[in-house]
Structure 1
Amino acid sequence: MSDLEADYVVIGAGSAGCVLANRLSEDPSVSVILLEAGGRDTNPWIHVPVGYFKTMHNPSVDWCFKTEPDPGLNGRRLEWPRGKVLGGSSSLNGLLYVRGQKEDYERWRQMGNAGWSWDDVLPLFKRAEDQERGEDDYHGVGGPLTVSNMRLSRPICDAWVAAAQNAGYPFNSDYNGPEQEGVGYFQLTTRRGRRCSAAVAYLRPIRDRANLRIVTRARTRHIVIEDGRATGVAFRDGAGRDRVARVRREAILSAGSIGSPHILMHSGIGEGAHLKSHGIDVLVDRPAVGRNLQDHLQARLVLKCNEPTLNDEVRSLYNQMRIGLKYLMFRSGPMTMAASLATGFLRTGPQVETPDIQFHIQPWSADSPGEGVHPFSAFTMSVCQLRPESRGEIRLKDSDPESYPTISPNYLATETDRRTIVEGVKIARRIAELPPLAGKIREEFRPGPDVRTDEALLDWVRNSATTIYHPTGTCRMGVDEGAVVDPRLRVRGVANLRIADCSIMPEIVSGNTNAPAIMIGEKASDLIREDAAR
């Protein structure tokens, strides 16, 4: 059944896919189809900032992936939430707007990726942005994506920022500005107290364009490739029918760092021996597909407090009702809270030129989002290594496109990764010993006072650390023959096919990945339109 046809077919309505659907359909002379495996973003919890407590691990909007047992984590498996809904993971993430360091993009360019230096990508970040603070050399106004200041403050987070300054770390009011290093408060993708997902920012204003068709409950099975060219996208619709969306110009794969390599492999693009082992015909032998997987691993220290925290505020039904009413009436209060309030981008020592660890400071504590807060007053210091050396992989489980792939992150596989995360925990402890934070802490709950040596700390990390939800790199961009896409994001070996999502990152950025994903969508749309004009 080939009843769908368009100039461009975008696979995946996540952060980059929403951008592409918007930008490509700006030209009324072209037609665009956007295919999304999940449904529409009608769940009300998606649009409440703190709603990630309700949407993560909810199979109606979350793919609910799970890793293989990881040797670096003493054989533990981790849950890897990924958005399965319009907006993708931007509809259930922690709303934190972080671009990374300019040096990240300079390294991409130094690898040969022309057009991806800091000077190249900064205008794209600014074009996407409607910055509450106003326009300057680093920020834009009038773009689709609203970026706001924190609407909530809590004394425990303010005390952490002050203690970190007492430890010698500078205050930085804008880590997305000239320098990332320092401590301060997060910027958020919110608009007047509501989540500004990629779907809200880029799809909602243009969903009635005559040349744009958004198809939800459309699970891509493979890309149709004929004579070395992508000519269509085979998918299964919500009624269980197998259909094909025909492509006149290009197919753009924006299914994320798990979905994009998975779809490529089922389309015959990947490591030949691996595809053959699952009975898939090899069209392009590209061993890099699914490899180069990177993620930020977080160690979460929990400290009990001698004063109330958000744990206490949300414990009683009366307080929950009061918080809900405050949000309904004023779009303020705890329901406007992002995943973290305060942050720090710090260096573990003088041997490091730019920050190599990031802190997420939360005025609450829990085992994981969606499981409820701890039954005592506490807050969380989460620390992650920004540039892990460890590399994992995505592989097929079998020949069924609807089977989940195997995810092997390979955390803590190098000495640098192990040393950096342990040093991050030690820095967290040093900050906790300084005023005014020290006076608010009753005791360290995790890892606990008995965990003192570097070896014991590393073992605690292995037994407790978890993902901070930033999988990247599995369809690496590069100029070498082994790369999956070239610097114009064209898939090597197949015409009319590009990839635009965080899977193209040759190295993970030094920070949260949603803002870079949107930038990649902006960049891809420019590249596609430039090539079409030629």
Structure 2
Amino acid sequence: MPDYDYIVIGAGSAGCALAGRLAAGTASVLLLEAGGSDRRLTVRAPLAFAAQMGGPTDWNFSSVPEPACDDRVIPQPRGRVLGGTSSMNAMVWVRGTQIDYDGWQLPGWGWSDVEPVFRRVESHYLGGPAHGTSGPVRVTRLPEPDVTSTRWVAAARAAGISDNEDLGGPDLDGTSIAPVTVWKGQRWNTARAYLPAARRRSNFTSVTGALVHRVVIRDGSAVGVEYERKGQLRVAGANREVILSAGAYGTPQLLQLSGIGAADHLRAVGIAPIVESPGVGTNLTDHPAAAMSWDTRPDFVGLSDAQKPQWLLRWVFRRTGKMTSNAMEALAHIRSHPELPAPDFQLIHSPSYVNLVAMEQELRRASSVLQSYWTPKSRGTVLAQSADPRDAPEIRLNTLSHPDDVQAFVRVVRRTREIVATEPFASVVTAELHPGPDVVTDAQIEAWLRSSVATTGHPACSAAMGNDADSVLDEKLKVRGVHGLRVADASVFPCIPRANTNAPAIMVGERCADFIRDDQ
């Protein structure tokens, strides 16, 4: 059994950051990833990300039938590839606002603690002092936004939304073209940001195609990891720590497979309980999203012709053109009610037809506005369905189960229509396609929402840290009840931030590396 000082499970947003920072020291580091290489056109070409849904780089999870959403099963795409979901997301870089992190009320996690970490992570096009200029993650302004996106930003400003060229936070209010993790026309995921330097060091080992079965716990300590590769079961020992970075779905499932969770549930699915931790897999929070769409005038083609060979050739040879688009080109962060302390919605303009129910972009001439709800009150669960790690966990989002969430969406549908009806965007569109001009009353809008709301792909909070003894993790990301086991990914958030969760997840990976270094 080979031994390493640290074993990181999951090469995603947080896992790559954590493993890269740990490898910069002298300790030996093993990074395990269930997926394979990120050297794929669908990963590297920004606009191709939607083609990954349901493919070999996607865990292809789904929720159970959601009672408050017409009993629909909601797709839950998650990256199964080096870089994790940073290899298949829409690349939008938003850190969150001060009240998000201060609101956690945890030592070491206030805005004054995390803001320097974000700066350490970034090589940001806006430069200092608000952003970092020499970090591993490249953040740029979308280089060639479609004319409909620039018109949409202008319309949002004309409709009363402030002009804000730095939507990354902490001042989130306003509208602009999206800040993105795209560099020289290619996706800049965490595998590209952190792993090349680590691979040059002899103390770093990465293994792909490694499906982790469980953390090996002996006498109350995490001592290794059992994983499967090419049909063979293997065990790697950990001399110091094991860190779970398997994401908001994978991490709670692996904790449960390792015997950490609600004892009654574990016994019911054939797992021997080791540590009673009923919070594992609870508090699941996502940013639910709706997508409105409009037909556009014939001279506004948007991304509808992006599959033409000319655009692929332009990207292959020059890294320019429509394939460099992240499809989610323009943002407006708004408050659906004037008394709110910060924005509760991220509006996202896409120069294409977006179908969130089917999790796909249809290449037809249209413009869409996605409404991502940042502060939902609905909470869900992630539960292992059996002792077999190949069985996907049961994901129950409970989306729109809280009436306040529904009312917030109704308000934002009306506000979105106001923006779209404002010049210079009003002359771009013709007919409203979804929900359609006949959907006008609160009841009609609610019915449409329940039939169409899906996800922004930001699951979080399912193995949350906290001060109380019942929390899954303490504020140093240590799993309560097990020595030498931590978690570093979006599952640790006590409350989901107002952000596209890639940036906060990377920050958590960096923060975990800090805690481990401080404990040495």
* TM bin (shorter chain): over 0.9
1:52·1:370 contact (CA, 8 Å) conserved in 2?
Answer: no
Deviation at 1:372, TM superposition (A): 4.8
SS of equivalent to 2:418: helix
Of residues 69, 73, 77, the one that matches 1:73 is 69
Tell me, yes or no, if structure 1 residue 101 matches structure 2 residue 97.
Answer: yes
How big is each residue's C-alpha offset from its partner over 1:42-74, in whole Å with a ceiling of 9 and x where there is no partner?
Answer: 22321111120222221x111000110001211
Paired letter, 1:373 = E
Partner of 2:148: 156
Identity %: 39
How big is each residue's C-alpha offset from its partner over 1:475-506, in whole Å with a ceiling of 9 and x where there is no partner?
Answer: 01101112100000000000000000000001
Of residues 35, 39, 45, the one that matches 1:42 is 39
Distance in 2, Cα, partners of 1:246 & 1:339? 43
1:294·1:508 contact (CA, 8 Å) conserved in 2?
Answer: yes
1:151·1:333 contact (CA, 8 Å) conserved in 2?
Answer: no
Partner of 2:82: 86
Deviation at 1:41, TM superposition (A): 1.6
Partner of 1:114: 107
Deviation at 1:131, TM superposition (A): 1.1
Of residues 249, 253, 265, the one that matches 2:256 is 265
- When residues 312 and 6 of structure 1 are mapped into structure 2, their CA distance, relative to the original with a 3 A threshold, is closer
2:97·2:169 contact (CA, 8 Å) conserved in 1?
Answer: no
Tell me, yes or no, if structure 1 residue 249 matches structure 2 residue 240.
Answer: yes
Partner of 2:6: 8
Tell me, yes or no, if structure 1 residue 52 matches structure 2 residue 40.
Answer: no
1:476·1:483 contact (CA, 8 Å) conserved in 2?
Answer: yes
1:384·1:421 contact (CA, 8 Å) conserved in 2?
Answer: no
Deviation at 1:282, TM superposition (A): 1.0
Partner of 2:59: 63
Tell me, yes or no, if structure 1 residue 488 matches structure 2 residue 476.
Answer: yes
Once the two structures are superposed, the pairs formed by residues 452-491 of structure 1 within 5 Å of their partners are: 452-491=440-479
Partner of 1:279: 270
Distance in 2, Cα, partners of 1:505 & 1:364? 32
Partner of 2:128: 135
Deviation at 1:279, TM superposition (A): 2.1
How big is each residue's C-alpha offset from its partner over 1:198-230, in whole Å with a ceiling of 9 and x where there is no partner?
Answer: 000000232131000101111110111111000
SS of equivalent to 2:127: coil
Distance in 2, Cα, partners of 1:335 & 1:453? 39
Deviation at 1:167, TM superposition (A): 1.5
Deviation at 1:178, TM superposition (A): 4.9
SS of equivalent to 1:486: coil
Distance in 1, Cα, partners of 2:378 & 2:169? 29
Partner of 1:361: 349
1:131·1:141 contact (CA, 8 Å) conserved in 2?
Answer: yes
2:305·2:363 contact (CA, 8 Å) conserved in 1?
Answer: no
Once the two structures are superposed, the pairs formed by residues 225-374 of structure 1 within 5 Å of their partners are: 225-237=217-229, 239-306=230-297, 307-314=299-306, 320-368=308-356, 371-374=360-363
RMSD: 1.3
Paired letter, 2:379 = R
**Gaps (5+ residues) in structure 2?**
none
Partner of 1:407: 395
2:472·2:479 contact (CA, 8 Å) conserved in 1?
Answer: yes
Partner of 1:198: 190
Distance in 1, Cα, partners of 2:210 & 2:244? 14
2:12·2:85 contact (CA, 8 Å) conserved in 1?
Answer: yes
**Gaps (5+ residues) in structure 1?**
none
Deviation at 1:374, TM superposition (A): 4.5
Distance in 2, Cα, partners of 1:207 & 1:92? 22
Partner of 1:188: 180
2:148·2:302 contact (CA, 8 Å) conserved in 1?
Answer: no
How big is each residue's C-alpha offset from its partner over 1:373-420, in whole Å with a ceiling of 9 and x where there is no partner?
Answer: 253x21001112111111000112122121111000000111211111
Distance in 2, Cα, partners of 1:191 & 1:5? 37
Distance in 1, Cα, partners of 2:50 & 2:273? 42
Once the two structures are superposed, the pairs formed by residues 391-470 of structure 1 within 5 Å of their partners are: 391-470=379-458
Paired letter, 1:358 = Q
1:288·1:475 contact (CA, 8 Å) conserved in 2?
Answer: yes
SS of equivalent to 1:420: helix
Distance in 2, Cα, partners of 1:394 & 1:53? 25
Q: TM-score, normalised by structure 1?
A: 0.95
2:175·2:331 contact (CA, 8 Å) conserved in 1?
Answer: yes
1:95·1:339 contact (CA, 8 Å) conserved in 2?
Answer: no
Distance in 1, Cα, partners of 2:455 & 2:201? 38
Distance in 2, Cα, partners of 1:371 & 1:126? 33
Of residues 10, 16, 33, the one that matches 2:30 is 33
How big is each residue's C-alpha offset from its partner over 1:297-343, in whole Å with a ceiling of 9 and x where there is no partner?
Answer: 1110001111322244336xxxx122122223332111111131110
Paired letter, 1:252 = I
2:95·2:169 contact (CA, 8 Å) conserved in 1?
Answer: no
- Count of residue correspondences: 518
Distance in 1, Cα, partners of 2:127 & 2:426? 36
How big is each residue's C-alpha offset from its partner over 1:406-440, in whole Å with a ceiling of 9 and x where there is no partner?
Answer: 00000011121111111111110111122121122
SS of equivalent to 2:180: coil
Distance in 2, Cα, partners of 1:312 & 1:50? 12
Q: Which aligned segments of 4 or more residues in structure 1 are displaced greater than 3 angstroms?
A: 368-372
2:92·2:180 contact (CA, 8 Å) conserved in 1?
Answer: yes
- When residues 71 and 445 of structure 1 are mapped into structure 2, their CA distance, relative to the original with a 3 A threshold, is same
1:156·1:309 contact (CA, 8 Å) conserved in 2?
Answer: no
Distance in 2, Cα, partners of 1:330 & 1:38? 29
Deviation at 1:156, TM superposition (A): 1.4
Paired letter, 1:225 = I
Paired letter, 2:312 = G
1:153·1:341 contact (CA, 8 Å) conserved in 2?
Answer: yes
Deviation at 1:21, TM superposition (A): 1.1
How big is each residue's C-alpha offset from its partner over 1:66-120, in whole Å with a ceiling of 9 and x where there is no partner?
Answer: 1100012110001111011111001111111111111100101x2xx10000010
Tell me, yes or no, if structure 1 residue 24 matches structure 2 residue 22.
Answer: yes
Partner of 1:220: 212
Distance in 2, Cα, partners of 1:502 & 1:339? 24
1:309·1:379 contact (CA, 8 Å) conserved in 2?
Answer: no
Deviation at 1:371, TM superposition (A): 4.5
SS of equivalent to 1:7: strand
